[in-house]
Amino acid sequence: MSPHRTRIIQLVDPAALAARACEEVQRAAHEALEQRGVFHLALSGGSTPKLLYRALAESGADFSRWHVHFGDERCVPPGHADSNFRMASEAWLGRGQVPAAQVHRIQGELEPAQAAREYERELVASLGATGEVRLDLALLGLGTDGHTASLFPGSSALAETSARVAATFVEKLAAQRITLTLPMLNESRAVLFLVAGSDKVDALRELFHGDPEARPLPAALVRPREGNVTWMVDGAAAAGLQDE
């Protein structure tokens, strides 16, 4: 873990984590809008960020110059119960506060390789307008096995060194996923990990106190070349920040 660019913020519970993360997202948005007139945010999937998305929906912020992307998606249609797009829509995007043309959905219903190609094309078209294909802020979660986005231990997508988006088959889930790759994530101007729950203690402990000689967990490979990494961890997961 590269400590000099890593910030750890501990919050008492998921509600406090969501509130603090909402502040952080809006701070990043303000900075991006000041500097470039647009804010490019990539959402994380899973369950942890739901409260954050609800907080953003209730924040009263002006989203007119926000572009919302996705860090990964399951290979399912947008209305499927497993869809990250559906989760984010129910919690926030369905309210139409972000202009529809500025919500960039990964088309999970397409054949995976095609979905990855289409999404990379849309990312470049949307982000490239500011000159560099870089996210302003990437929201990420942490799996119990140390995965992040859909970069799972041992997955082919982890080895991708040039493509910005990859289709990957996740053995343990027997499921296809579409994910941003490390080259894309490590171009982010900032990364915010949201981690809640006692089931994340072991992964956090391995990340922050594991054997430096061991194969790094996927989340440890997210090291933006110029960005900062912030970890927001709730009380239940925070035991993992302490060495045994």
Which residue lies nearer to ligand 6PG by CB, 72 or 136? 72
Of 58-66, 111-119, 122-130, 139-147, the window that binds ligand 6PG (rule: CB under 6 A) is: 139-147
Instruction: Retrieve residue 208's tokens.
Output: 């922050």
Instruction: Retrieve residue 149's tokens.
Output: 């986005």
Instruction: Retrieve residue 217's tokens.
Output: 């967990």
Convert 139-196 into a string of H (helix), E (strand) and C (coil).
EECCCCCCCECCECCCCHHHHCCCCCEEEEEEHHHCEEEEEECHHHHCCCCEEEEEEC
Which residue lies nearer to ligand 6PG by CB, 143 or 240? 143
Give the interface size with ligand 6PG as a residue count (CB under 6 A): 15
* DSSP element (H, E) containing 49: none
Which residue lies nearer to ligand 6PG by CB, 47 or 242? 47
Q: Which of 42, 75, 149, 165 binds ligand 6PG (CB under 6 A)?
A: 149
Of 1-9, 107-115, 140-148, 205-213, the window that binds ligand 6PG (rule: CB under 6 A) is: 140-148
Show the CA angle centred on residue 85, arms to residues 44 and 63, nearest 5°.
75
Q: Which of 72, 187, 206, 234 binds ligand 6PG (CB under 6 A)?
A: 72
Residues linked to residue 140 through DSSP beta bridges, in sequence order = 193
Q: How far apart, in whole angstroms, are the C-alpha atoms of residue 48 and residue 134? A: 24
Query: Which residue has the closest beta carbon to ligand 6PG?
Result: 141
Taking Cα atoms as reference points, which of 138, 82, 127 lies closest to residue 104?
127
Give the x/- contact pattern for ligand 6PG in 10-49, rule: CB under 6 A: ----------------------------------xxxxx-
Give the x/- contact pattern for ligand 6PG in 84-123, rule: CB under 6 A: x---------------------------------------
Which residue lies nearer to ligand 6PG by CB, 199 or 226? 199
Give the x/- contact pattern for ligand 6PG in 205-244, rule: CB under 6 A: ----------------------------------------
Are 83 and 76 a contacting pair, CB within 8 Å? yes
Q: Which of 52, 53, 69, 143 binds ligand 6PG (CB under 6 A)?
A: 143
Which residue lies nearer to ligand 6PG by CB, 44 or 168? 44
Alpha-carbon Rg for the chain, nearest whole angstrom, is 17
Are 24 and 192 a contacting pair, CB within 8 Å? yes
Q: Is 94 helix (H, G, I), strand (E, B) or coil?
A: helix
Bridge pairing between strands 165-170 and 175-180: antiparallel
Residues that bind ligand 6PG (CB under 6 A): 44-48, 71-72, 84, 141-143, 147-150
